[in-house]
Amino acid sequence: MSQAAEPNLRAIIVDDEELACAALREVLAPHTEIEVVAECANGFEAVKAVSELKPDLLFLDVQMPKLDGFEVLELVGPQAAVIFVTAYDSYAMRAFEVHAIDYLLKPFSAARLEAALTRAKNRIGNITATSAVDLAAAARPPAQYLERVAVRDGTRVHIIPIGKLEYVEAQDDYVELHSGGKKHLKQQTISSLEVGLNPARFVRIHRSYIVNLERVVKIEPYTKDSRLAVLADGTQLPVSRSGYARLKELLDRRA
């Protein structure tokens, strides 16, 4: 009598719909090499579970409240092979394909799952650091900008609404986000963050700074070729010559 195969891949399912989780469990049942070690109903639970359990495989819903699939992937990094489980449209599907991300389009068949699993298994042990930031930007419809920024602090996640983001400062491959008198460090370049911000509300005033226009109260001269942007709380930020031109143009439009 043959013994059942021992599970050798640890997986986590992340989906806010209980029926979707049950359907995925059902089609996974014949795959005895996969052990589902956790099910998460939202992105916060997912970030914590991935950090603690370190799965090989992540079945990740895209459209979820609080944190969506892109934000989860951005926060956990390339720790696991990811299969997106989504009802996204064809525009986003092209983004997944360009960035070599596996996906299951709801509703999916057992055969489609089999194909996705094969691709995911080929990536396990050789996971490349696919940029979740770039993936999210590619999948976002044109002219749709970020409404919040998610920052990981250990197993905790902070959500900063875009309207409360005062300014951003570059710190090498990180950005320091200033909001409500607090600082949050996030592993992301300032250029990649800038792409997701509405240019009518945020302006790159210096190679190291992006500012929320609503927080700027005045511009003061500093040196012959530079100026300072003074924010409502008294913070002074350097403004380059090209940054001043952009800042002045947007402020003049609001006047």
Q: What is the pLDDT of residue 125?
A: 65
Mean pLDDT, rounded, of the chain:
87
**Which residue type, as a one-letter code, is found at position 69?**
G
**CA–CA distances in Å: residue 19 to residues 22, 46, 60, 223:** 5, 18, 15, 63
What is the pLDDT, as a whole number, of residue 153?
Answer: 85
User: 27: buried, middle or exposed (CB in 10 Å: 19+, 13-18, 0-12)?
Assistant: middle
- Identify whether the C-beta of residue 102 lies closer than 8 Å to the C-beta of residue 83: yes
Which domains, from first to last, does the chain contain?
Answer: 9-139 (3.40.50.2300), 151-254 (2.40.50.1020)
State CA 125 to chain mean position distance.
23
User: Looking at residue 194, what DSSP letter applies?
Assistant: H
- What 3-state class would DSSP assign to 124? coil
Terminal alpha carbon distance of the chain: 82
Q: What pLDDT score does 42 carry? A: 93
- Give per-residue pLDDT as tens, 100-109: 678 888 888 8
Show the low-confidence residues of the chain (pLDDT under 50). 1-2
Token match 């696991």: residue? Answer: 80
| Contact call for residues 219 and 248 (beta carbons, < 8 A) | yes
